[in-house]
Amino acid sequence: MRPLGPLSWSIEAPPETVFDVIAAPYLKRTPRALAGKLEVWERGSDMVLAAHFTHVRGFVATTLETVRFERPTRIDFRLVRGPVPHVVESFVLRPLPSGTELTWSGELGTDFWVAGSAWGARVATVWERAVRASLASVTEEAERRSRRS
């Protein structure tokens, strides 16, 4: 087991707006712009089963995850199928006077001892890079929506 994060972002938008930006592609219709990155297989009122597609060095890595929503403070992810046997992670949203603090954290687990540990380190690096890129887009969109309203 190895930790993922924690990493935090300050976003100049209320928690409800940040939550909506993250949750909408899962709970509502997935926008065409995300078609190559996300596909919701099953959708419920507070949980989805979703495939995520990450481009890594010329190939596409696919993960299948459950995503649970606790409006407007928390979104939890649990790996069902992917490059390692275990990943759990969460986005926790906390109100700030200037907007929202979003903290991402979790854990990644592997098997096969030393070889698994080395593989887990490589996967964790790519995983963190994907989260950073995703949350850069979330920050931009949430702040745009907040300025507009």
Cβ atoms within 10 Å of 3's Cβ, excluding its own: 10
Q: Which residue has the higher pLDDT, 54 or 101?
A: 101
Give the residue ranges of DSSP H helices in the chain: 15-27, 113-148
Q: pLDDT value at position 69?
A: 98
Q: Which tokens in the block code for residue 114?
A: 């030393």
What's the rounded mean pLDDT across residues 18-26?
96
Q: Out of 30-39, 62-71, 127-136, pick the least confident.
A: 30-39
Q: pLDDT value at position 97?
A: 97
Place 33 in a pLDDT band, splitting at 50, 70 and 90. Answer: confident
CATH superfamily of domain region 2-148: START domain (3.30.530.20)
pLDDT in tens, 51-81: 999 877 788 889 999 999 999 999 999 999 9
Residues 125 and 119: beta-carbon distance below 8 Å: no
Residue 148 has pLDDT above 80, yes or no: yes
Average pLDDT for the chain: 94
Residue 124 has pLDDT above 80, yes or no: yes
Residue 136 to residue 141: CA distance in whole angstroms: 9
User: 3-state DSSP call for residue 3?
Assistant: strand
Cβ atoms within 10 Å of 10's Cβ, excluding its own: 11
Q: pLDDT value at position 48?
A: 98
What's the rounded mean pLDDT across residues 2-24?
97
Place 31 in a pLDDT band, splitting at 50, 70 and 90. Answer: confident
